[in-house]
Amino acid sequence: MAERTAPGRVDRRRARTRTALVEVAQRLLAEGRTDVPILEITELADIGVGSFYNHFDSKEELFRVAVAEALEWWGSLMDRLTADIDDPAVAFTQSFRMTGQLHRRHPELSRVLLNQGLELARSERGLAPRALQDIRAAVDAGRFEVEDLDLALTMTAAAVLALGSLLHAQPDRDDAKSADLVALGLLRQFGLPADEAARICALDLPDLDAVDTLVG
C-alpha cells in the first residue's frame, strides 16, 4: 500500500513546487523584474535551487510558462462566464467588460498581461484566440462588419491594454463604467448601430464577486 501511495505524494509535492515557481515568476513579471537570478526566484518560492531544474531548464522558460498560464487562466475564466451566451457579439462584449473589471480584481495578473504589450494579440493562448473566435463568429452571423479579423483583434488587444494601464494609473476611476465605454466604442467600430451597442453594453454581467470560487 505504501508503495502505491508514495508516487501520489511525490507528484503532489512536485506540483506544489512547480506552482510556487510559476506564482513567483508571475509576481516578478507583474513588477517588471525579469532580470533576477534563479537563486532569488527559488528563495522567494522557498525551494532549493536544485528543485528549479526538476521543472524548468532556464529562467526564460519559467517566465514563458508563467505568462502562458496567466493568459490561459484568464481566458478559461471568460469561457466559463460566457458559456451560456449564444450571440457571439454579446459573448465578445461581456468578456471585454469583465476583463476591464478584472484588471482591478486581479492586479498582479493584469500587470502580467500589460507587460506583454501587443504580444497579447499574437498569443495562441488566453484571451486572443477566444476574442478572435468571437469576432469571426459575429462576422459570420452578420453581427459585426469587419474586413480584417487580425486588425480587429489588434484593436481589441490595444483597447484592453490601454484600459488596464489607465485603471492602474487612476485607482479612483470607475472600472466598470470605463470598460463599458471602451466596449461600446469597439462595437461601434465593428459596425453595430449605436442603440444595439448600447443595449449590449447594458446587459447584466455574471457575478464577479464569485470569480474566486470559479478559479481552479
Q: What is the pLDDT of residue 210?
A: 63
Beta carbons of 94 and 85 less than 8 angstroms apart: yes
Q: What is the pLDDT of residue 1?
A: 39
Q: Does pLDDT of 109 surpass 90?
A: no
Q: What is the pLDDT of residue 200?
A: 97
Give residue 195's pLDDT band: very low, low, confident or very high (50, 70, 90).
very high
Q: Does pLDDT of 64 surpass 80?
A: yes
Distance, CA of 134 to chain centre: 16
Three-state SS for the chain is CHHHHHHHHHHHHHHHHHHHHHHHHHHHHHCCCCCCCHHHHHHHHCCCHHHHCCCCCCHHHHHHHHHHHHHHHHHHHHHHHCCCCCCHHHHHHHHHHHHHHHHHHCHHHHHHHHHHHHHHHHCCCCHHHHHHHHHHHHHHCCCCCCCCHHHHHHHHHHHHHHHHHHHHHCCCCCHHHHHHHHHHHHHHHCCCCHHHHHHHHCCCCCCHHHHHHHCC
Segment 200-209 shows an average pLDDT of 87
Q: Does pLDDT of 43 surpass 80?
A: yes
Give residue 7's pLDDT band: very low, low, confident or very high (50, 70, 90).
low
Segment 34-51 shows an average pLDDT of 89
Segment 179-208 shows an average pLDDT of 95
Q: What does the alpha-carbon distance between residue 41 and residue 92 come to, in Å, rounded to a whole number?
A: 37
Q: At 158, phi and psi to the nearest 5?
A: -60, -40
Q: Does pLDDT of 48 surpass 70?
A: yes
Find which of 13-22, 94-103, 190-199 is predicted with most confidence, using mean pLDDT.
190-199
Segment 62-80 shows an average pLDDT of 83
Angle between helices 88-105 and 107-116 (to 10 degrees): 110
Segment 43-66 shows an average pLDDT of 89
How many C-beta atoms surround the C-beta of residue 117 within 10 A?
A: 11
Segment 47-71 shows an average pLDDT of 87
Give residue 213's pLDDT band: very low, low, confident or very high (50, 70, 90).
very low
